[in-house]
Structure formats: C-alpha cells, structure tokens
C-alpha cells in the first residue's frame, strides 16, 4: 500500500545529492570524534581499521539505505512500507522507519547541545579569549558545562538555524544550505591543513596517523572503529533514506555512495592531520579523548602565531559540519509529518524543532542541575548518546542489511542498483554476510561492555 501520493521534491542534480549526503555524513563525528578516537585508540591502527570498516560495512550499507529511500519514494516509514509491500513482505518492516526517525530526533537533541559548545568556542575565539595552561583550558570547559543558561542559549540558537533551513524545503532549504556551507567547509579545511603544515609538526602527525603498527590493532580498536564508521556515515537513522527518496532514478547509487564515503573519510583525515600537527608541535597529548578539540587544541592556539584566527576558522569549520548533519537529522520526521499528516512544512519543522529543543534543554541540565538523575549510571546526555549510537543505530543498520540482503529479493535490489553482474554479486554477498556479522559484533560489544 502506497502512503505518499503528493508530488515529491527531487534534488537538482546528482551533485546536489552527493553534496547533501556528504553534508549529513561529515559532522561532529568526523572532525570532533574521529581525531580524538584516533588519538586515544592507537593512532594509525584505528585509522586503518576504520578505513576497512567504511569499505566493508559502511559503504554497502549506505548503498542499501539509499536504495530503499529511492525505491520507496517517501519518508522513512512510507519508504519501508512501500518497498515491503512491493516485494511481498509484511508491513512490520515499517517499524524500521519509525526507529530511524525517532532515533534521529533523539540524536539531534544532544547533537545540538554539543554544537552549542562549538558556537560558544567560536565566540570565545572571536573575542580574543585565550587559555595558556591545561588547568585554565579545563576550567573554561567546566565553567561552560556548569552553566545551564549558557548551554541552553547556544543550543537554542543552533536549533533555530537547523529548523530555519528545513522549514524552507528540500531544494530551497536543505540543498541551498549545503551548496553554500559544504564548499566553505572544504576550503577552510584545506586552508587549516596547509596552515598546520607550516605552523605545526606535520611529519609527526603523518607518522602518528599512517605508520601502521599492526600490533596496535586490538579488539577494542576494531570495535571502536566499526562503531565510528557507522556514526560517521549517518547510517540507520532514516537520514540517508530520506535523502535517497529525493534522488532521481538515473543516478548511480554505487557511484554516489563511493563519493560520499571517500569525502567523509578524507575530511576526517585532513582534520586529524591539521589537529595533530599542532598537538605535536606544542608537545600536547593526542590521547586526551573527547576534550581534544576543546581543551587540548586551545592550548596550541595560544602558542601558535595567528592562533586566534586559526581558532576562528577551526570552530567555523566544525560548526558548518555540525549544521549540515543536524539538518539531516530533522528532515526524516518533518517529511513524515508533511506527507502522512499533510502538515504545512514550516509548521512541521518548527513544531518538531520545539520538541527536540525541549529535550535538548534536559540534556543541558544533565551536566549541572540534573546531574544526579541517572539512567543506568549515566546522565541524560550520555544515556541518550548510548541509546542511539550503541543500540538504535546498530540495530537499525542490521535490520536494513537483513531487509535488503534477505527480504527484498535479488531482482528488486538489482533493478535499483543497476550494477554490472559481478560487482552486484560481490556487493550483495558482502551485504548479506559480512555486514550483519560486523554489526552484530559492534552491537554485542556495546551491550556487553567489551569496549569503552
């Protein structure tokens, strides 16, 4: 049974789709998380395993998710129902769309809070704020987390920017925003990498990221890299499915997916090189974890010539990346409201944004006033992160692999992908066997606490 009869928007061309999908994929995950995870998980070992995971698991799944979106031509729930109906499967598969859409909203609620930290640091950089010692850097971050009003302010501003774009529509909002922000992002990234080369110790950064020491590959590193490949490609949350649903029939899904995976990886690597070249130049610790860009890097900014300007560009870069990803987290549910309940897009976007904003406020409070409310020992912010990244995303990704690999039927999948027969067989088998096994490993490892 088809759910969406209204005419749907279509991206202006194949490059628009590539750009928005790269926009969704390249986010805090690539610029904030990738470098600090590489820094704390054995450097090059993590990078190598991450690349393999992107190729073996991320890429096949990306293609599968886009295929469902395009064939189903609807919001994630409608797309799943349409494809399941067409291929003679039960409508229970529609639940997968729900898990994705709701998961995306949950992620957005705290993603926006972290993006708010970046806005705060951008303002700090603009006003010439500097930290000279590790203690000062730590204190300034702790002061931010301890102040719910400040967190809420930046979170509110960030959310307004997200909703403002999504409310304008698929082509005149999302596509235009990405067409402006993504080229700026690439330009800033190249500039910062070159700057890091001149002002920092690029050779140490290079060795740290690319001298592959096979002995450093441990199960923890493998699982962390696999989980991260997943998050950084925006898989399993309906975002890619929603974007895929606006893709025209003639564009090659395999080709565009390759571009997206390659660009996301390249951004992570360049950001890592820029960050580590400064980290090493000033004798700082690459393995400082989540505080790498907010606590370690500001110390480098303090010491380097022109550090303040570098900081402004750097936080702008992170902000643009976060912005385009957050947009893709809001779109799936908004598209459902507009298509299923015929709600006017701006109303749908602002009301969904309001609900997400409220939940985000609770995350802001979870660092201070509400820190004593615990869910399995975690504050709300960490609990939401755990629930989405470690449970909902892998489960949803696994279900997509099973649906496309085992339920949809080879003929329908082949018709959507239009690959040469050998390439298709290779991809299909990877999706049927390697992807489910890989994801199950990540999932079990998170649940059983094998990795931190």
Residue ranges that bind ligand PFF, judged by CB under 6 A: 24-25, 27-30, 104, 107, 231-232, 234, 237, 239, 325, 328-329
Provide the 8-state DSSP code for 441: H
Using CB positions, name the residue nearest to ligand PFF: 29
Q: What are phi and psi of 341, to 5 degrees?
A: -105, 5
Closer Cβ to ligand PFF, 111 or 195, answer by number: 111
Concatenating the DSSP letter of every residue in 330-362 gives HHHHHHHHHHHS---HHHHHHHHHHHHHHHHHH
Residue 207 has a CB neighbour count (10 Å cut-off) of 14
Distance CA 436, CA 279 (A): 38
Do residues 245 and 73 make contact, with C-beta atoms less than 8 angstroms apart?
Answer: yes
CA-nearest of 8, 360, 313, 4 to 162 is: 360
Distance CA 129, CA 21 (A): 35
Q: What is the nearest approach in angstroms of ligand PFF to the Cβ of residue 34?
A: 8
Specify the residue for token string 């730590």: 138
Closer Cβ to ligand PFF, 59 or 365, answer by number: 59
Which residues partner with 298 through β-bridges?
none
Closer Cβ to ligand PFF, 265 or 308, answer by number: 265
Do residues 311 and 10 make contact, with C-beta atoms less than 8 angstroms apart?
Answer: no
Angle between helix 253-281 and 307-340 (nearest 10): 150
Coil, helix or strand at residue 168: coil
């Amino acid at each position: 049974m088809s759910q969406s009869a209204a005419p749907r928007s279509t991206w202006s061309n194949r490059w628009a789709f590539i750009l928005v999908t790269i926009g969704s994929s390249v986010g805090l995950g690539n610029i904030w998380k990738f470098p600090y995870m590489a820094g704390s998980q054995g450097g090059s070992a993590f990078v190598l395993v991450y690349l393999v995971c992107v190729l073996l698991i991320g890429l096949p799944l990306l293609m599968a998710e886009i295929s469902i979106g395009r064939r189903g031509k609807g919001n994630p729930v409608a797309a799943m129902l349409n494809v399941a109906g067409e291929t003679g499967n039960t409508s229970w598969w529609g639940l997968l769309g729900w898990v994705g859409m709701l998961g995306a909203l949950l992620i957005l609620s705290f993603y926006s809070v972290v993006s708010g930290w970046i806005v705060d640091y951008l303002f700090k950089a603009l006003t010439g704020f500097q930290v000279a010692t590790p203690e000062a850097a730590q204190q300034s971050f702790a002061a931010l987390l301890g102040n719910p009003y400040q967190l809420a302010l930046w979170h509110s501003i960030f959310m307004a920017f997200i909703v403002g774009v999504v409310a304008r529509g698929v082509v005149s909002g999302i596509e235009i925003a990405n067409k402006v922000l993504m080229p700026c992002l690439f330009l800033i990234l190249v500039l910062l990498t070159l700057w890091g080369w001149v002002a920092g110790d690029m050779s140490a950064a290079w060795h740290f990221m690319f001298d592959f020491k096979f002995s450093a590959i441990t199960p923890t590193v493998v699982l962390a890299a696999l989980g991260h490949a997943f998050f950084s490609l925006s898989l399993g949350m309906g975002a890619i499915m929603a974007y895929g649903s606006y893709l025209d029939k003639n564009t090659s899904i395999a080709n565009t997916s390759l571009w997206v995976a390659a660009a996301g990886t390249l951004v992570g690597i360049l950001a890592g090189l820029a960050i580590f070249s400064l980290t090493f130049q000033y004798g700082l610790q690459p393995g400082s974890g989540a505080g790498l860009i907010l606590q370690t890097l500001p110390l480098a900014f303090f010491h380097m010539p022109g550090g303040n300007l570098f900081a402004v560009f750097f936080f702008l870069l992170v902000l643009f990346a976060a912005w385009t990803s957050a947009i893709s987290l809001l779109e799936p549910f908004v598209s459902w409201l507009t298509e299923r309940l015929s709600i006017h897009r701006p109303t749908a976007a602002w009301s969904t944004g309001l609900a997400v904003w409220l939940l985000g406020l609770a995350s802001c409070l979870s660092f201070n006033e509400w820190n004593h409310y615990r869910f399995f020992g975690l504050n709300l912010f960490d609990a939401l992160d755990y629930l989405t990244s470690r449970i909902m995303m892998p489960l949803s990704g696994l279900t997509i692999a099973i649906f496309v690999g085992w339920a949809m039927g080879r003929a329908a999948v082949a018709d959507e992908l239009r690959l040469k027969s050998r390439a298709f067989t290779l991809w299909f088998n990877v999706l049927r066997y390697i992807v489910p096994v890989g994801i199950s490993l990540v999932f079990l490892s998170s649940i059983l606490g094998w990795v931190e």
